[in-house]
Structure formats: C-alpha cells, structure tokens
Amino acid sequence: MGLLRYESQVRPPLVNGDKDYHQVTEDICRPVETRPSKAWWIGFIISVLVLCFGIVSVTMEVIYGVNQWNLNKTVGWGYDITNFVWWIGIGHAGTLISAILLLFRQGWRTGVNRAAEAMTIFAVICAGQFPIWHMGRVWVAFFTLPYPNTRGPLWPNFNSPLLWDVFAISTYFTVSLLFWYSGLIPDVATLRDRAKLKWRKLFYGIAAFGWTGSTKHWQRHEALSLVLAGLATPLVLSVHTIVSFDFATSVVPGWHTTIFPPYFVAGAIFSGFAMVQTLLVVTRKVLALEDYITIEHIEVMNKVIVLTGSIVGIAYLTELFIAWYGANTYEGFAFLQNRVNINSPYGWAYFIMMGCNVLSPQIFWFRKMRRNLLVTFFMSILVNCKRGYVV
Amino acid sequence: MAVKKFITGNFYDEAVLFPAVTKVRRAGYKIHDVYTPFPIHGLDKAMGLRDTGLHTAGFIYGITGTCTALGFITWALTLDWAINFGGKPFFSLPAWIPITFELTVLFASVGMVMTFCYLCQLAPFVKKDHFNARSTDDTFVMALECTDKTNEQEVIGFLNNLGAKDVEVQYRETEWWLGRYDKDTKRFERKVEPVH
C-alpha cells in the first residue's frame, strides 16, 4: 500500500495519522455517503432560516422599492454596495487558495481548496445579486447587457465602472465555476465507482462526465488547472480593482482616492480568509475531517490574516495621513471631522472598524493564539462583521 | 474501434509503477494506458506521451476574446452610435481595458474547458469501459494492448515480475458511448430479433 508521500523534514505532515490512499478515499467520501449527522442538520436548518429571512427582505424590497432600507435617492446604493463588496471580497479568498497558492506550489492548499472554491461560487452568487436588487426595477436588469435592441440599438456605456462590473462579475463567476467543476470531475468519478445505490450511480455517473483517470487525461487536466489558475489570479485582482473603481471614480470625498484598488484587494483576501476560517473550523468538526484540515492549516491561514490585516491597516493609515497632509479640504473634512472625531456621525463605526480590522488580528502574531480554534473562530467572526464597516 | 483484448496489472505504489513503466516500454510492449486515481507527476514523460497542446489553444482563445472585445466596443462607441460621455473622446481606449481583459479571460477559460472536454471525451451521459473500478480509489492500473503476436503467458509473467498484482486478460471497449452508469449497457448491443 502506498503511504502518503513524505513531504519534508522540517514541516509537519499535511495529513495526520499515517493513512494510505484507500483510507483517504474512505474518510473523504464518508460525509457524502452516510446520513448527515445531527450537527449537520442544525447547521442546515439555521442556514435555511437565514435564507428565508433574506428572501422575505428582498421580496419586500422589490415590491416597495429601495426606500425599504431608508435609501431615498436613486444615485446612491446604500446597503447594496457594501454587501456587494463584502461578498465579492469573501469570494476572492477562495480563488486565492485555489489559484494563487497553486501557482506558488503550496502543498497545504489541497486540504482546503475545494471547500474554498465552493465558498467562492456561493459568495459570487450572493455578490452578483446586490447590484441587481439595487436597480429597483430588477426585471429590466438585462438592459446592462450589450445585446441588439430596438432602442437604436443603444449600447451600454462601456466607459463606466458599473458596466465593467457586469463583465467582471459574470466572468469571475463563470471562471470560478469552471475551475471548481473541472477539479471536481475526478472526485465525482471516485464517488461514482464506489456507489452502491442505483440513484447514486446514475447521479454521479452523469456528473463525472465519464472520467476514467487515464494518464493522458490527467496530463491535460494538469495543464488546464495550471492555465486556469494563471488566468484566475489576475482575474481576481482585476475584479476587485474594478469593484473599487465603483467607489474611486465617484467624486465622494473619502472614496475618490487612487489607493482603493490595492487596498480593496488586500481587504478582500483578509476578510475572505476570515470567512474560510469560520467555515472550516465548523466543517472539520461537523464532518470529522480533523486529520485533513489540520491545526497547521488553521495556523497558516491565520498567518495570511495577520499579513493582509496589516496591509489593510497601512492603507487606512495612509488614507488618514493623506487626508491630513493633502490640500483637499473635503477629503480632510471627511476623515478628520467626520470619522476620526468620535462624536461625529461616522465616528463610532470608524473606531470599531479600526479596532477590529487592524488591531485585533495582531493577536495572531502569537503562535499559541494562531493554533487556538476558539480564538480563531471568534476572530474570524469579528473580522467578518467589522469588514462591513469599511464603506 | 471496437472491443480489444488487454492484459492489465494493478500497482499500489508509485515507486513500483515508475520502473515498471520504463521496463515495459523497453521490452517493446505497447502500453494502452495507465489509470490512476490522482495525477502522478512525470508519469506522462515516463510513458512517452506527447505534451498537450491545450496551452496553445488557450492562448488562441484568449486572443480571440481580446479582439472581440476591442473590435465590438470600438464599433459600437465610435461607428454605430457614438455618444458624448462628459466630453471624452469617442475612442477612449484606456476605459475599455477592463472589459477587454475580462473577455480575454472568459474566452480563454471557457474555450479551454470545452476543448479539454472534447479531447478527453467528457460530457454528461458519456460512458466508458473500466479496467478496474478501484482505479479512481487507490489503484494504478496498467493496461497493455494485445495483438495477434502477443504471447499472453509471457506478458503476464513479465508484469508479475515487475510487481503488478492481479494480472489478468480483459476484453474492453476502447471508445465511449452514450449510456448510464446505473444500467449495464454496452456500446453495441445486439438485439435478437424475435423469431416468429
């Protein structure tokens, strides 16, 4: 029996507990092949209830209009733009894990990449909705697409960041889906060949696309993954850059800055990794995958969180410095009077954001904290909640 | 193509598989394929497979996307219906870079995945014959194609010596066909006409 490949002398093993290939297959397939546990049902029911709340809210918004969240003008986006940016940012960590870490040949990514990619897809589905909901008249959302129409044809404004968004988000969703599914095909084939029940054979037989595991196919599969990773990496950067252009090309003081693209990308990876942590700390417990998503994975991701959190911190401070140093009085007012001043309308939010986004992740400089599941989970929730205050 | 005769051997360790592949090739036997549950780096080189041209295809698709985006936007905003957006030039190339880039990536990735599926004959309801169902679990299955001149006993002994387990002769269909995995269908099913 081939034991899992020996990685390195100085690094801890990627999979705990001396398993052979067959045991790995058994362990990974178990959550799919057995009945869900009680913990799974609890998680599922909570998620469905939250989803119902979301459906009710969105239905209200579509029926009564955007004033449902106290938005009384047609130009501003209100909650939608913050939700949009937040979800897109969450999605980026999944692509980072699957694509950028593949290019960097990081072996540990394989334990978490599929979960992270799935998270990306659902996050992009969530993100993509918000620009549509904020339109108010959602039934004419297709007006944003350049299709031959009876109004001229009148083409959309290709110079506008909002239209860039349409292309960026739809491309990002498509590429994420292709990347995820092409990686999933061999795994589904494994499930298909293990299936005992008739409907499982049928379902996995269709989903596995007739994969056999031929060496020539694997060679093409490897080439495909590498090129898709190489395409997805600049894609992630471009998508969040374009998202930041939604803000940066406006003339709102505090938003009209050139620091936004890099700062948004770092912030996206930061909050996205926090979300991966939130999900994986629960997943490894509920699905009993502790040998595969080890404490080493958690620690490595916490290191990424402290790095990107600090980059975001520098961006905040740069913003503040430029507001004070620059000659633009509106920019100065936006930051020095309206945010740093604790008694101002945005003061409380600004300090919560600074504290939870910049200061609190610094706890991960300590190895003991990085390896503590409870601290990790709490911090990931904190980072995710407070990212909402960024905008 | 049709049903062919193969001799298959199972391996459970890369360290045994690699020398076996080399020796089988040196002995002059034709390896039909090696089926593995995960990609084994260097196995394609050891088997003497050609490099894949998928990268080149991806590049061509990407260029197509670039040209489509630039061509279409240029035509729409300068020739078909030029609109004055804040006094900016009609041909404002820098503002079109984001969409051009996105379409390049979109065309390249969608095209590559479709080419990949075409080359590997992957699609829903495609069915292929397997040599061993464990080849997607933990077994590396090497299949040697038999010809009229092949001495079966010699090949079986040779594979056994190389460390292969459960060496056997199998008859398998080499092509794909439309079918379902919950039903045992073959590529060509002879329907026996009822005799009246």
In chain A, what residues touch B182 (CB-CB under 8 Å)? 198-199, 201-202, 205
In chain B, what residues touch A208 (CB-CB under 8 Å)? 181
pLDDT band at residue A6 using 50, 70 and 90 as cut-offs: low
Higher pLDDT, A328 or B111: B111
Same domain, B142 and B95: no
Question: Domain range spanning residue B18?
Answer: 3-51+130-178
B71 in contact with A, Cβ within 8 Å: no
Same domain, B115 and B134: no
Interface-testing mutation among A149, A159, A181, with chain B (most B C-beta atoms within 10 A)? A159
Higher pLDDT, A176 or A21: A176
pLDDT tens column, B39-94: 888 888 888 888 888 999 999 999 999 999 999 999 998 998 888 888 888 998 99
In chain B, what is the straight-line distance between the N-terminal and C-terminal CA atoms, in Å? 34
| Residue B101 structure tokens | 């880039």
How many domains would you assign to chain B? 2
Spell out the domain ranges in chain A: 1-34, 36-64, 65-250
A164 in contact with B, Cβ within 8 Å: yes
Is the pLDDT reported for residue A381 higher than 80?
Answer: no
Neighbours of A366 (CB within 10 A): 13
Q: Is B139 among the domain residues?
A: yes
Same domain, B168 and B80: no
* pLDDT score for A98: 80
Same domain, B101 and B60: yes
pLDDT band at residue A10 using 50, 70 and 90 as cut-offs: low
Hey, are the CB atoms on A204 and B88 less than 8 Å from each other?
A: no
Nearest by CB to B49, which of A194, A216, A241?
Answer: A216
- Domain boundary among the residues B119, B145, B165 is at B119
Nearest by CB to A235, which of B105, B116, B126?
Answer: B105
Three-state secondary structure string covering chain A: CCECCCCCCCCCCCCCCCCEHHHHHHHHHHHHHCCCCHHHHHHHHHHHHHHHHHHHHHHHHHHHCHHHHCCCCCCCCCHHHHHHHHHHHHHHHHHHHHHHHHHCCCHHHHHCHHHHHHHHHHHHHHHHHHHHHHCCCHHHHHHHCCCCCCCCCCCCCCCCHHHHHHHHHHHHHHHHHHHHHHHHHHHHHHHHHHCCCHHHHHHHHHHCCCCCCEHHHHHHHHHHHHHHHHHHHHHHHHHHHHHHHHHHCCCCCCCCCCCHHHHHHHHHHHHHHHHHHHHHHHHHHHCCCCCCCCHHHHHHHHHHHHHHHHHHHHHHHHHHHHHHHCCCHHHHHHHHHCCCCCCCCCHHHHHHHHHHHHHHHHHHHCHHHHCCHHHHHHHHHHHHHHHCCCC
Report CA-CA distances (Å) from A32 to A36, A242, B138, B184.
8, 38, 18, 24
Question: Which among A203-212, B127-136, B144-153 has the top mean pLDDT?
Answer: A203-212
Residues 6+ apart with CB under 8 A from B26: none
Closest-CA distance of chain A to residue B168, Å: 19
Is the pLDDT reported for residue B116 higher than 90?
Answer: yes
Is the pLDDT reported for residue A249 higher than 80?
Answer: yes
Closest-CA distance of chain B to residue A241, Å: 9
Q: Is B62 among the domain residues?
A: yes
* pLDDT score for A391: 44
Same domain, B91 and B70: yes
Nearest by CB to B13, which of A2, A221, A235?
Answer: A2
In chain A, what residues touch B103 (CB-CB under 8 Å)? 167, 171
pLDDT tens column, B126-136: 888 888 888 88
Is the pLDDT reported for residue B148 higher than 60?
Answer: yes
Same domain, B63 and B44: no
Interface-testing mutation among B93, B136, B174, with chain A (most A C-beta atoms within 10 A)? B136
Report CA-CA distances (Å) from A254 to A11, A94, A267, B190.
45, 29, 17, 75
Interface-testing mutation among A158, A201, A228, with chain B (most B C-beta atoms within 10 A)? A158
* pLDDT score for A3: 47
Higher pLDDT, A295 or A14: A295
Find out whether A302 and A370 touch, Cβ atoms under 8 Å: yes
pLDDT tens column, A127-164: 888 888 888 788 888 888 888 888 878 888 888 888 99
B97 in contact with A, Cβ within 8 Å: no
- Mean pLDDT throughout A346-359? 79
Quote the mean pLDDT of chain A.
83
Same domain, B114 and B153: no
Same domain, B60 and B114: yes
As a whole number of angstroms, the distance between CA B157 and CA B144 comes to 13
- Mean pLDDT throughout A187-202? 88
**Lowest mean pLDDT, pick from A125-139, A218-232, B175-189:** B175-189
Report CA-CA distances (Å) from B4 to B32, B131, B153.
11, 12, 17
pLDDT band at residue A386 using 50, 70 and 90 as cut-offs: low
* pLDDT score for B61: 95
Domain CATH for B27? 3.30.70
| Residues 116-155 in B contacting A (C-alpha not used; CB under 8 Å) | 116-117, 119-128, 130, 133-138
pLDDT band at residue A1 using 50, 70 and 90 as cut-offs: very low
